Amino acid sequence: MENYTVLDQVNSPEDLRHLGPMQLNLLCREIRDFLIRTVSGTGGHLASNLGAVELTVALHKIFHSPQDQIVWDVGHQSYTHKILTGRKNAMFTLRQQGGVSGFTKTKESIHDSFISGHSSTSIAVASGLAKAKQIKREQGHVVGVLGDGAFTGGMTLEGLNNASRGGKNLIIILNDNHMSISKNVGRLSHYLSKLRANKRYFKLKDFTKSAIGAVPLVGDRLVETVTNSKAQLKNVVYNTSFFEEMGFIHMGPVDGHDLSMLCDVLGRAKTLGKPVFIHVETQKGKGYPPAERNPGAYHGVPPFDPGSGVDPMPAQDCFSTVFGRHLVRIAEKDNRVCAITAAMKYATGLNYFSKRFKSQGRFHDVGIAEQYGVTFGAALAAKGLIPVFAVYSSFLQRSYDQILHDCSIEKRHVVLAVDRAGLVGEDGETHQGLFDCAFLTTIPGISIYSPATYHALRYSIDRAIGIEDGVCAVRYPRGAQPRFPGGFAEDAKGDFGLNTRGERRDLLVISYGREYAQAAAAVKRLRQSNVAADALCLTKIWPFNPEALEIAKQYRRILFVEEGMRHGGIGGHFLAALHNAGYRGDYFHKAVDGFVEQGTVSRQLEWLGLDCNGILECILQNLSERKQS
pLDDT in tens, 411-458: 999 999 999 999 999 999 999 999 999 999 999 999 999 999 999 999
Give pLDDT, residue 267.
96
Q: Is the pLDDT of residue 276 over 80?
A: yes
Q: Cα separation of 385 and 336, whole Å?
A: 5
Q: Report residue 502's pLDDT band, with 50, 70 and 90 as the boundaries.
A: low
Kindly report the three-state secondary structure assignment for every residue of 219-244.
Answer: HHHHHHHHHHHHHHHHHHHHCCHHHH
Give pLDDT, residue 14.
96
Q: How many helices (H) and strands (E) does the chain have?
A: 24, 19
181 neighbors 209 (Cβ within 8 angstroms): no
253 neighbors 190 (Cβ within 8 angstroms): yes
Q: Cα separation of 409 and 10, whole Å?
A: 58
Q: Cα separation of 525 and 505, whole Å?
A: 17
Percent of the chain scored above 90 by pLDDT? 75
Q: Cα separation of 231 and 604, whole Å?
A: 57
Q: Cα separation of 152 and 280, whole Å?
A: 17
| Catalytic residue numbers, as ranges | 284, 370, 398
Average pLDDT, integer, range 515-543:
94
67 neighbors 323 (Cβ within 8 angstroms): no
Q: Give me the chain's average pLDDT, please.
A: 88
Q: How many residues does the chain have?
A: 629
β strands within 457-532, DSSP E:
472-475, 496-499, 507-512
307 neighbors 435 (Cβ within 8 angstroms): no
pTM of the model: 0.88
Backbone angles phi, psi at 442, to 5 degrees: -85, -5
Give pLDDT, residue 167.
79
Q: Report residue 628's pLDDT band, with 50, 70 and 90 as the boundaries.
A: low
Q: Cα separation of 511 and 429, whole Å?
A: 23
The model's pLDDT over 150-174, given as tens digits with 9 standing for 90+, comes to 888 889 999 999 998 877 899 999 9
Average pLDDT, integer, range 175-204:
49
Amino acid, single-letter form, for residue 187? R
Give pLDDT, residue 234.
45
Q: Give 151's DSSP letter.
A: G
Backbone angles phi, psi at 306, to 5 degrees: -60, -30
Q: Residue 173 in 3-state DSSP?
A: strand
223 neighbors 212 (Cβ within 8 angstroms): yes
Q: Is the pLDDT of residue 185 over 60?
A: no
For 599, left (φ over 0), alpha (ψ -120 to 50), or beta? left
The verdict on whether omega for the bond into residue 66 sits within 30 degrees of 0, i.e. cis, is: yes
Weakest-pLDDT range from 160-169, 401-410, 455-464, 497-506: 497-506
Residue 166 CB partners (closer than 8 Å, separation 6+): 131, 134
How far is Cα of residue 441 from the mean position of the Cα atoms in its chain?
Answer: 23
What domains appear along the chain, each with residue ranges and CATH number? 7-174+286-291 (3.40.50.970), 319-475 (3.40.50.970), 496-628 (3.40.50.920)
- Closest among 71, 126, 144 to 103, alpha carbons compared: 71
Weakest-pLDDT range from 88-102, 169-183, 324-338: 169-183
The DSSP H or E segment spanning 377 is helix 370-382
The model's pLDDT over 197-244, given as tens digits with 9 standing for 90+, comes to 554 545 545 555 555 555 555 555 554 554 454 454 444 434 556 888
Give pLDDT, residue 218.
53
For 621, counting Cβ atoms within 10 Å of its Cβ (0-12 exposed, 13-18 middle, 19+ buried), the class is exposed
Q: Cα separation of 571 and 564, whole Å?
A: 9
Q: Residue 490 in 3-state DSSP?
A: coil
402 neighbors 375 (Cβ within 8 angstroms): yes
Q: Report residue 601's pLDDT band, with 50, 70 and 90 as the boundaries.
A: very high
Percent of the chain scored above 70 by pLDDT? 86
Residue 124 CB partners (closer than 8 Å, separation 6+): 155, 158, 159, 162, 163
Give pLDDT, residue 211.
54
418 neighbors 591 (Cβ within 8 angstroms): no
Cα 611 to Cα 522, 527, 591, 608, distances in angstroms:
8, 17, 11, 8
The end-to-end CA distance of the chain, in Å, is 59
The DSSP H or E segment spanning 427 is none
For 17, counting Cβ atoms within 10 Å of its Cβ (0-12 exposed, 13-18 middle, 19+ buried), the class is exposed
